[in-house]
């Protein structure tokens, strides 16, 4: 809110440089489309800039929403990034659209996109590593830069990006396990069951040339401030943006003042209370009904019924 995309990209660059200096291990960005509160529609373009702005930190997409793309093109783009910053590139792969249904359609993403995700991942890995089996229709297709180009030119075989599977469900956990790839769980998405997903990943993990044993990462939302109350106040802006998205409004980050003044619509039979401590329990449904209007009473308590 009140900030241009140009200013946002400058802040991303400064933040990556700070993380690099402070010794953090990874700096990832995610792909989102048609959102007022998110500017990285192409993480790989921003990563190309950051390869020249940082020195040692790993840079990654967390992630590329693969059904929005052609696997060969992603392999070529991340092959270029690996060439620019050898040993520092992570490629996280997700299957969500990263946007609303209309925009997903404009990206030529069909309804069957999620079903094709495992095949797309295998194709992408085949292009990155140039190891399609004999008889595969893409055996003679090569991602450049990559292993095939190096062999043709008589130079050492380059490395490849570390490829991660991203998700928040048992499906993604089991796919990562089958492929022998590291797994990143997105805990910030509601009530996702991280315990079950991690158990399935570890129980079903199959060692690969890329990874000998399970390796995991969990992402969560965090806001840091010297004053805990102010941190909570700022965090509510992100929560409100998610609420807007869940109610089919744009992912717009409001100011803390706008969030505090918000009076939500809610379903009959639900209660919504803001307590003195600042905690806002999730509404608990009692019976289905139509939308009604919440009323506010003086003081810190707000309810609807």
| Residue range 5-167 in CATH 3.40.50.2300 | no
Q: What is the pLDDT of residue 66?
A: 93
pLDDT in the model for residue 23: 97
Average predicted confidence (pLDDT) for the chain = 83
pLDDT of 286 reads: 32
- Enter the pTM of the model: 0.79
Q: List, for residues 154-193, the tens digit of each pLDDT value.
A: 999 999 999 999 999 999 999 999 999 999 999 876 677 9
**pLDDT 10s digits, 77-100:** 999 999 999 999 999 999 887 777
- Between 116 and 283, name the one with better pLDDT: 116
Can you give the chain as a three-state secondary structure string? CCCCHHHHHHHHHHHHHHHHHHCCCEEEECCCCCCCCCCCCCHHHHHHHHHHHCCCCEEEEEEEEHHHCCHHHHHHHHHHHHHHCCCCEEEEEECCCCCCHHHHHHCCCCCCCCCCHHHHHHHHHHHHHCCCCCCCCCCCCCCCCCHHHHHHCCCCCCCCCEEEEEECCHHHHHHHHHHCCCEEEECCCCCCCHHHHHHHHHHHCCCCCCCCCCCEEEECCCCCCCCHHHHHHHHHHHHHHHHHHHCCCCCCCCCHHHHHCCCCEEECCCCCCCCCCCCCCCCCCCCCCCEEECEECCCCCEECC
What pLDDT sits at residue 109?
A: 67
Domains of the chain, residue spans: 5-167, 266-305
Question: Tens digit of pLDDT for each residue in 285-298?
Answer: 333 332 323 333 33
More confident residue, 245 or 148: 148
pLDDT on residue 37? 72
pLDDT tens for each residue of 116-137 = 999 999 999 999 999 999 999 9
């Amino acid at each position: 809110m009140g900030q241009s995309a140009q200013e946002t990209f400058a802040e991303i660059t400064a933040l990556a440089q700070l993380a690099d200096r402070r010794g953090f291990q990874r700096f990832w960005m995610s792909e989102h489309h048609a959102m007022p509160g998110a500017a990285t529609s192409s993480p790989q373009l921003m990563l190309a800039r950051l390869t020249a702005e940082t020195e040692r930190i790993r840079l990654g997409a967390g992630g590329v929403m693969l059904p929005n793309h052609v696997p060969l093109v992603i392999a070529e783009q991340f092959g270029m990034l690996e060439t620019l910053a050898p040993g520092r590139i992570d490629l996280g792969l997700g299957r969500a659209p990263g946007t609303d249904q209309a925009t997903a359609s404009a990206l030529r993403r069909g309804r069957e996109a999620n079903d094709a995700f495992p095949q797309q991942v295998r194709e992408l890995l085949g292009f990155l590593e140039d190891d399609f089996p004999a008889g595969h229709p893409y055996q003679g297709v090569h991602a450049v830069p990559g292993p095939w180009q190096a062999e043709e030119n008589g130079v050492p075989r380059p490395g490849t990006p570390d490829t991660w599977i991203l998700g928040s469900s048992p499906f993604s956990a089991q796919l990562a396990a089958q492929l022998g790839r590291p797994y990143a769980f997105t805990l910030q998405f509601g009530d996702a069951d991280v315990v079950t997903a991690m158990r399935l990943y570890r129980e079903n993990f199959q060692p690969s040339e890329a990874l000998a044993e399970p390796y995991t990462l969990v992402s969560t939302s965090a806001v840091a401030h010297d004053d805990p109350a102010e941190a909570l106040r700022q965090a509510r802006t992100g929560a409100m943006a998610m609420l807007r998205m869940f109610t089919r409004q744009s992912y717009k980050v409001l100011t803390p003042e706008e969030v505090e003044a918000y009076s939500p619509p809610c379903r009959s039979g639900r209660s919504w209370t803001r307590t003195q401590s600042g905690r806002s329990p999730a509404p608990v449904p009692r019976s289905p009904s139509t939308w009604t209007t919440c009323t506010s009473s003086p003081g810190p308590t707000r309810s609807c019924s």
